[in-house]
Structure 1
Amino acid sequence: MSEVKPEEISHPAMEQLQGFEYCIDSNPPWGEAIILGFQHYILALGTAVMIPAVLVPMMGGNDGDRVRVVQTLLFVTGINTLLQSLFGTRLPTVIGGSYAFVIPVMAIVQDSSLAAISDDHERFLQSMRAIQGALIVSSSIQIILGYSQLWGIFSRFFSPLGMAPVVALLGFGLFERGFPVVGRCVEVGLPMLILFVVLSQYLKNVQIREIPILERFSLFICIALVWAYAQILTSGGAYNHSTEVTQINCRTDRANLISSAPCPQLLTALQLGLQVQLHPQLTS
C-alpha cells in the first residue's frame, strides 16, 4: 500500500476550525439544506424588499413598479447565487442587491434632469434606464479588474487599518435606513431585534439531537414568531385607531406587495427599455 501524502489527508471541519461543522465542499443533509436555503432566501428577501422600498418611491414608481423591481432582484439573486455555488467559490453567501450602491443610485435619482419629468411613471422608467446603464458600466469595470487580476495586485496595498474607515463610513451613511426604520414600529421591530440577539448569541448552545437549532435557524425562528405576533396585533385591532403612518409601518396587510404583484412573466435583459442620452453640456 502506497504511503499517504500529507496533502491527501482530510480532516473534519470541526477539527480545523472551532464551531464549524461544514466546509465549503461539505453537503448538509437534504432536510437541513432545504431549511438553510429557505433561511438564506428570507435574508435575501429582506434586502430585495428594502432597497426598492427606499428607491422606487423616489423615482416616482407606484406599488406595482416596486413589486416588479423586487421580482427582478429576487430572480437575478437566484441566478447569481446558483452560478456562484456551481462555478464560483461556493461560499455560503447570497449574491443579491448591495447597499453599497444605494447612495450612488440616490444621487442618480435626484438628478435635476430626472426630477424635471412631471409624469411619475415616465420618471420611473427614465430613472431605471439611467440606473441600469450605470450598473452595466460599473459591473464591467469590476469584471475587468477581476479577470485581469489587477484587483489582486492592488489589494496588497490595502491594509485593514485603511479599509476599516471606508467600510465604517459606508455603514454610517446607511444608518438612517437601519434602526430608525425599525423604530417606526417599536412594538414589532424591537422584539424582533432582542429575540434575534438572544437566540443567536445567548442561547446558541441549546441543541436538539446534537444540532444547534437556535443558533443555526435563529433568523427563521425569529421571523416566524414575530410575524405571528404582528398578525395577532393586526387581527386583534391594536392599530384600528392609530395614525395612517403607524398602520402602514405596523400592520401586516398594508404592504400591497402581493395584491400589486403582476402575473408571472419571463424577465428579459433591458426590460425597461434601452435609451442612450448625452449630457446637454457635452452636446452644446
Structure 2
Amino acid sequence: MLGTTVLIASTLVPQMGGSHGDKARVIQSLLFMSGVNTLLQTWFGSRLPVVMGGSIAFYISVLSTINDYTDRSFSSEHERFTYTIRTIQGSLIVSSFVNIFLGYSKAWGNLTRFFSPIVIVPVVSMVGLGLFTRGFPQLANCVEIGLPMLILLVVVQQYLKRIVHPAVGHILERFALLMCIGVIWAFAAILTVAGAYNTTKEDTQLSCRTDRSYLMSSAPWIKVPYPFQWGTPIFRASHVFGMMGAALVSSAESTGTFFAAARLSGATPPPAHVLSRSIGLQGISMLLEGIFGSVVGTTASVENVGLLGLTHIGSRRVVQISCAFMIFFSIFGKFGAFFASIPLPIFAAIYCLLFGIVAAVGISFIQFANNNSIRNLYVLGLSLFLGISVSQYFVGNTTVDGHGPVRTNAGWFNGILNTIFSSPPTVAIIVGTLLDNTLDAKHTANDRGIPWWVPFQNRKGDVRNDEFYSLPLRINEYMPTRFL
C-alpha cells in the first residue's frame, strides 16, 4: 500500500502547493481511509480478501482542479493547497453518489450479467497490463536498486525454495517479499549514507536515496485524521463532472480486480448482486474520503491481489488484520514515514511480478471458452489491443495540467471522456461487452462459455456462492434480498 500511496502524494501534493508536512498528512489520510474502506469491503462489500487503496484514475480530474487554481493569487502556497484540496473534497463527495446509485440500484450488477469468460479475459488482463508504466519504467529510474530487487525476489521466492528443506521453502514462499525488501532497502540506505548519489541528477536522487521523501522530519508523531480537517468542502460543477468519470473508471477497475481476487483465493466468480453491493459500498467509501480529505478516491488494489498469487495466502482475516497496520501507520506518523522512505524503484520491481500475475489470471479465464473459435479470438484480440492502444493514446496526449485529447467547449464533457478512455480496463469492458453480445451471441453461447458462467451469476445458481459471499453475523437472514 505504501508504494502507491507515497507515489500519489509525492506527485500531486507539490503541484497543489503543499509542503512536506502537507504531504505527510495526505499520506496519513490516504492510509487511514484505505484501512477503513478495506474493513468495510471485506465485511459488507465483496467479502473477498481485497485491499482498497488510492486510485490513479483520479489523476486527470485532480490535475484539472490544480490547474484552475495555478494562476489565481493566494496569500501563500499553503492557502492554495488547502483551497485546492477542499475543492477535491467537494468533487469526491458529489461524485460518490454515482457509485452509490450504480451499486444499490443494481444497475452495475445488471451490466455484469452481459459479461462472459470472453469479456473477463481482457478486462482482468488490462487491470494488470494497463499499469505497465509503474513497472520497469519506474524501476529503470534507479536500476542499481530496482533490478537487484527484481532478480533477488524471483530467485528467493521461486528457485531457492525448491532446493532447501520443505519447511524453509514454505517460509520463503510466504515471506520472501519482506526479506528481499529489507535487504535491498538496507543496500539503498548504505549507498545513500556512503554518498553514492551526492553528485547525481535531482531525479536520480529522488528515486534512489532513502532520505528524499522528507517525511521523517515533517510527519507528526501522532495525528488522527478527522472529518473536514482541511476546511469546508468547495463544490464546483466543472470539477464534479470530471470526478464522476473517475468514479466510473474506479468501478470498472475494481470489478476486474474482484474477478482476479476471486480466482486467486479459490472463490467462485463474484455474482452480480455481490458486485452491485461492493460498488455501492465503494461509493460510500468515496463519500467518506471526501469528508476526511483524501486527494483521490479508492479502488481495489491490484498489487495486493497479485500478492495473493505470490504468497498463496487468500485469507480474508489476514487482509482485515493488515487494516490495523494501515490505521496504526496513519495515526502514528513517524512509523508510517519510516516505511515510506523505501525508494519507489523497489516497489516498481515488486509491481513487475504482481501486475504480471494479475494479467496472467485474466488470461486463464479463456480455458472456460472455446480457444479455437475465430469469433472468440477476434473479440479477445480487439479488446486487448484497443484496451492498451486507446488508453495509451489518451494518456500520451494528456498535458501536465490535465487536458486530454477531447477538447470541446464543454469542460465537464472533456473531463468525463478523457478520464474514461485513459483507463485500459474501462476501454476493454466497453469494447469486449459490445462485441461479445452483438457478434452472433445466441448461436455461440457454448463457445463463449455461457453454460459454465451463468450459475455463478445467480444468487442460488451455485451452492458455493453463499459460502463465499454471504454477509457476516447472519445479516442475510434479517435483510430483504433486494438490499443484499
Q: Same fold (TM over 0.5)?
A: yes
SS at match of 2:227: coil
SS at match of 1:264: coil
Q: 1:240 maps to which residue?
A: 198
C-alpha displacement of 1:229? 1.0
Structure with higher helix content: 2
Relative to structure 1, the CA distance from residue 244 to residue 270 in structure 2 (aligned partners, 3 Å threshold; closer, same or farther) is: same
Cα distance in 2 for partners of 1:83, 1:116 equals 40
C-alpha displacement of 1:259? 0.6
The number of aligned residues is 237
8 Å contact kept, 1:207–1:213:
no
Q: 2:446 maps to which residue?
A: none
8 Å contact kept, 1:128–1:272:
yes
Q: 2:96 maps to which residue?
A: 139
Deviation string 1:133-169 (CA, Å, 9 cap, x unpaired) is 2222232221222222221101122456557667777
One-letter code of the match for 1:248?
Answer: L
One-letter code of the match for 1:116?
Answer: D
Q: CA RMSD in A?
A: 3.0
Relative to structure 1, the CA distance from residue 249 to residue 257 in structure 2 (aligned partners, 3 Å threshold; closer, same or farther) is: same
Bigger Cα displacement from structure 2, 96-105 vs 58-67: 96-105
One-letter code of the match for 2:226?
Answer: T
Cα distance in 1 for partners of 2:5, 2:176 equals 20
Bigger Cα displacement from structure 2, 57-66 vs 263-272: 263-272
Cα distance in 2 for partners of 1:72, 1:231 equals 27
1:216 aligns with 2:174: yes
One-letter code of the match for 1:56?
Answer: V
Of 13, 18, 21, 1:56 maps to: 13
Cα distance in 1 for partners of 2:80, 2:216 equals 24
Cα distance in 2 for partners of 1:244, 1:167 equals 37
Cα distance in 2 for partners of 1:175, 1:107 equals 24
Q: 1:261 maps to which residue?
A: 219
Cα distance in 1 for partners of 2:232, 2:5 equals 23
Normalised TM-score (structure 1): 0.71
1:95 aligns with 2:57: no
Cα distance in 1 for partners of 2:237, 2:57 equals 25
Bigger Cα displacement from structure 2, 70-79 vs 128-137: 128-137
Identity score, percent: 53
Within-5 A mapping of 1:2-81: 44-81=1-38
C-alpha displacement of 1:242? 2.9
Cα distance in 1 for partners of 2:121, 2:64 equals 24
8 Å contact kept, 1:100–1:170:
no
C-alpha displacement of 1:187? 0.8
SS at match of 1:96: strand
Unaligned runs of 5+ residues in structure 1 are 1-43
One-letter code of the match for 2:231?
Answer: G
Cα distance in 1 for partners of 2:15, 2:130 equals 18
Q: 1:106 maps to which residue?
A: 63
One-letter code of the match for 2:173?
Answer: E
Cα distance in 2 for partners of 1:218, 1:94 equals 20
Cα distance in 2 for partners of 1:97, 1:197 equals 27
8 Å contact kept, 2:65–2:88:
yes
One-letter code of the match for 2:42?
Answer: S
Q: 1:6 maps to which residue?
A: none
Deviation string 1:174-217 (CA, Å, 9 cap, x unpaired) is 65454333222111122122223334444565665276223322
8 Å contact kept, 1:60–1:123:
yes
SS at match of 1:259: helix
> 1 or 2 for the larger relative contact order (CA 8 Å, sep ≥6)?
2
Within-5 A mapping of 1:114-193: 114-118=69-73, 119-159=76-116, 175-193=132-150
Relative to structure 1, the CA distance from residue 226 to residue 94 in structure 2 (aligned partners, 3 Å threshold; closer, same or farther) is: same
